[in-house]
A and B are shown apart, each in its own frame.
Chain A
Amino acid sequence: MKIMTCPVNGPRNISEFAWGGEIKPQPDPATCTDAEWTDHLFLEANTAGVVSEWWLHTPTNTWFVARRNTVTDEVLETMTADTFFSRRSDTLR
């Protein structure tokens, strides 16, 4: 079984987690155009390589962030959302 480490609950079987997709910057709904908003809703970078993405530990309803390589299926790092967003943006990938 593949193991993923939830930053709050520790290492768990991958079947306890749900994938939330790549993190993408959200435009301001009050000021953006309709096209910007629909693009944000539906379009995906769908990167082949290292991504930062949302994951949910379903039994405890804990959302967190993982860095994962979508070509090799390696989880490189997991962290709380706070940790992720407090990092400087140029170190984010």
Chain B
Amino acid sequence: MPFALLKYAARSALKGDHAADAHFHWTPDLKPAYDVVIIGAGGHGLAVAYYLATRHGITNIAVLDKGWLAGGNTARNTTIVRANYLTPEGVAFYKESVNLFRSLSNELDINVMYTERGHFTLAHTDAALNTARWRAEVNTHMGVASEVIGPDEIKRLCPTLNVSDDVHMPVLGALYHPPGAIARHDAVAWGYAKEAMRRGVEVHTQTAVNKILVENGRAIGVETNRGTIHAGRIVQAVAGSSSVVASMAGLKLPIRTIPLQACVSEPVKPILDQIVVSGSLHVYISQSARGEMVMGGATDAYGLYSTRSTLDFKESLMAHMLELFPFMGELKVLRQWAGMADMTPDFSPVMGLTPIENYFIDAGWGTWGFKATPVSGVRMAECVATGRQPDLLKPFALDRFRSFDLVGEKGAASVGH
């Protein structure tokens, strides 16, 4: 049980005092200099700050965000966490994140509502089935629970799913990943922010970085709408704005910014326990703790720096969704929205050191970065504190494109967030 609940229960029993402590202790003024400046107060930036404070004793940190706390993709994603990737490098990385997620509620003293539901990647073609087998082999080898199952077993585990032949694209099988989970996205970010701030980290919202100061190949500070700040080290974790911010430091990235859309239905009673993804049909669905069916698809067809929603997205999503889950025809769409995904050519992140001294990057999270929030926090903090690329991050270094050492995860990440 999160410690906050115990404190609350004890205090109200003893004193009749029902008020909880304020989560956040904002600091009004910027200091002229910090040991570390983190650009972007999404889950990733906040997690880096938290682990720098807790594991490396660095607390003179400012996290800057042009908007509000974790209002970017962290607030817009469909919260799927899993480790069933395709490459050994990817599986090892996401496996560490799953392990961190399991104890996150206790560590951050906030209920992140991490629930393991079972994750199905459906295959409707022989090619998709082959990829599922390949993933199952790699996953099993790496100690990640993952197996290929047939339509009967799928039906037994997930009775609401339509596995009949009488559809446009019948289900041939699935990659079944029992640890697949969902978590409360806001609580993850708020937990990191609250615990980092409790240790002295400052989070400044409405503070946009407009320029990065680089002298002799070394980053020394940032210019913001609230003045200039000097920084010992700078980390950028700005998701869809990665190229824009990196270009302020003179870096060009292997990234395109493409909207990713999602939507939820009106809330209904529990009917779908699992997370169901179809890479072939480009749709996925799970049911939130509130009862909403949370749905998404592939990225938009072209790049855009905007979070507008489109009718095309809903139409193509529903065409397939109604075949998989005919009961969805009864439900109304409640909300739809988009986030700006920073897509790399190999569907893997770009992390760690850059050619600029004291400038660190955490980018290329595309459509798959929420599940990596804890591991990115831990490993980026290690990278910033030691000035060395941690082993787990070596495959994801920016210079992999120069040596053609790509980490091809498209087969595991194209829709199965």
Contact = CB atoms under 8 A, between A and B. Distances in A.
B243 A44 contact: yes
Contacts of B404: 38
Nearest to B316: A15
Interface string B292-312: 000000000111111010111
A15 B305 contact: no
Interface string A45-63: 1101000000000000000
Interface stretch (B117-125, B252-260, B283-291): B252-260
Chain A binding surface SS class: mixed
Given A18-B301, A19-B301, A38-B401, A46 B308 contact: no
Given A35-B402, A38-B401, A43 B253 contact: yes
B131 to A, nearest CB: 23
Contacts of A15: 301, 312
A46 B257 contact: yes
Interface in A1-58: 1-2, 14-15, 17-19, 21, 34-35, 38-39, 41-46, 48
Contact of A1 (B256, B304, B312): B312
A46 B303 contact: yes
Contacts of B304: 70-71, 73
A19 B299 CA distance: 12
A2 B312 CA distance: 9
A21 B345 CA distance: 12
A70 B252 contact: no
Given A1-B312, A38-B401, A38-B402, A45 B252 contact: yes
B401 A42 contact: yes
Nearest to B301: A19
Contacts of A41: 401
Contacts of B244: 46, 48
Contacts of B402: 34-35, 38-39
User: Helix, strand, loop or mixed for chain B's interface?
Assistant: loop
A61 B243 CA distance: 31
Contact of B252 (A1, A21, A43): A43
Contacts of A2: 310
Contacts of A42: 254, 345, 401
Interface in B133-173: none
A19 to B, nearest CB: 4
B254 A19 contact: no
A3 B252 CA distance: 32
Given A14-B301, A38-B402, A44 B306 contact: no
A44 B301 contact: no
A19 B252 contact: no
B253 A46 contact: yes
Contacts of A1: 311-312
Contacts of B254: 42-44
B252 A44 contact: yes
A93 to B, nearest CB: 16
A44 B401 contact: no
Contacts of A17: 301
A64 to B, nearest CB: 14
A48 B312 CA distance: 23
A1 B310 CA distance: 9
Nearest to B400: A42
B306 A21 contact: no
Contacts of A19: 301-303
Nearest to A46: B243
A45 B304 CA distance: 13
B85 to A, nearest CB: 21
24 contacts: A2-B310, A14-B301, A14-B312, A17-B301, A18-B301, A19-B301, A34-B402, A41-B401, A42-B345, A42-B401, A43-B253, A43-B401, A44-B252, A46-B243, A46-B253, A46-B255, A46-B257, A46-B303, A48-B243, A48-B244, A48-B257, A70-B305, A71-B304, A73-B304
Interface of A: 1-2, 14-15, 17-19, 21, 34-35, 38-39, 41-46, 48, 70-73
Which are the 9 A-B pairs with shortest beta-carbon distances? Answer: A46-B243, A19-B302, A42-B401, A42-B254, A43-B252, A48-B305, A71-B305, A38-B402, A48-B244
